[in-house]
Amino acid sequence: MLNVGLSEAVDPELRGCLPKGIELVLIPSHPETPLDVEFWIAPPLSAAAERAWPFLRGVRVVQSTLAGIDALRKLLPSDVILCDGRGVHTISTAEWVATAILASLKYLPFYDELRRVHSWPRRREAEEHFRALHPTNKVFYPHVLIEELHAQRVLIVGYGSIGEAIEERLKPFGVEIVRVARRARPNVAAPVHAITELPALLPSADVVVLIVPSTSETTGMIGARQLGAMKQGALLVNAARGPVVDTDALVAALSSGRIRAAVDVTDPEPLPEDHPLWEAPNLFLTPHVAASTPQFMVRAMQLAAAQVVRYLRGEPLENVVTGEY
């Protein structure tokens, strides 16, 4: 019988997604004794996975509940099959990106600040914010109080399943989408540029969305040079991993008023209480929550259950990771 390992923190109702004919091994949050597990459904929290791994015996397959597998890759020997959770948080992450873009362009953090100090008259400061980001001598009547997403050029860097979902959610706003992936895909209905073209594409983008995996190639992908190449007042959105962006360079770019940013991930993470990013202007910041919805583990367990069935039948597994991702 196949031993399937699963965190005891998973809701008992969701455990019912797993097929019959297996031995379910519930893994404590802090294991103390060895556990025989052939198929491990890894927990989404890297700390929990790191605590569990030394106690697992006989693991042949690991199914990640996350699309990102950088933390698991560091744990596992090369002879263990690792499958990522591609698709599990496509919807939630795409929704966060769309929300973060709109929140930034509609100055929602600024208006929430005014609400907290009970001062609607200060709303005219919004135009000062706009002029600082977009220097101009134009006279606006009435005052500029928010910006529009319509007609903006959005550069999606890391055009996979989540990138496609982001495009689906943004296109109704009348934006121009420019797609970038590791390799070019020119002969398709929606052409995709190669990542080598990024330096030429950055200067014309109004919004730059990062949704790349965490690899040796993407670490530090956006540094001072790339931020300096961005259009004055452009918005950088990081829903990938913190190390993709050089944090010191980001703080400097935000503080100078060159760009603005919306980020769900940081480097370091969690962000220390005294880190300068907390006080950086022109920033919309959330604590790595883009994937954390009530449907997250529902989709993760549905994927894992389907993978267990394939394994039992001797069928090829999906989302098998080769190389860094």
| Domain 2-88+293-313 shares a fold with domain 90-106+147-285 | yes
Quick one: average pLDDT of 84-92? 96
40 residue type, one letter: W
Q: Which CATH number does the domain 2-88+293-313 belong to among 3.30.160.20, 3.40.50.720, 3.30.1490.150, 1.10.150.20? A: 3.40.50.720
pLDDT at 222: 98
pLDDT at 189: 81
Quick one: average pLDDT of 27-37? 97
Closest by alpha carbon to 83, among 314, 290, 308, 312?
308
pLDDT value at 60 more than 90: yes
> What is the chain's mean pLDDT, rounded?
96
CATH code: domain 90-106+147-285 is 3.40.50.720
Measured distance CA(152)–CA(223) in Å, rounded: 23
Measured distance CA(90)–CA(18) in Å, rounded: 22
Quick one: average pLDDT of 118-125? 97
pTM for this structure? 0.95
Measured distance CA(234)–CA(164) in Å, rounded: 21
Quick one: average pLDDT of 118-124? 97
pLDDT at 147: 98
Catalytic residues: 241, 269, 288
**For the chain, domain boundaries:** 2-88+293-313, 90-106+147-285
Q: What percent of the chain has a predicted confidence (pLDDT) above 70?
A: 100
Closest by alpha carbon to 280, among 246, 252, 258?
252
pLDDT at 231: 98
- Half-sphere exposure in the Cβ direction for 14 (13 Å, CA): 19
Q: What percent of the chain has a predicted confidence (pLDDT) above 90?
A: 95
pLDDT at 186: 85
Quick one: average pLDDT of 45-58? 97
Closest by alpha carbon to 68, among 284, 290, 262, 270?
290
Quick one: average pLDDT of 113-137? 97
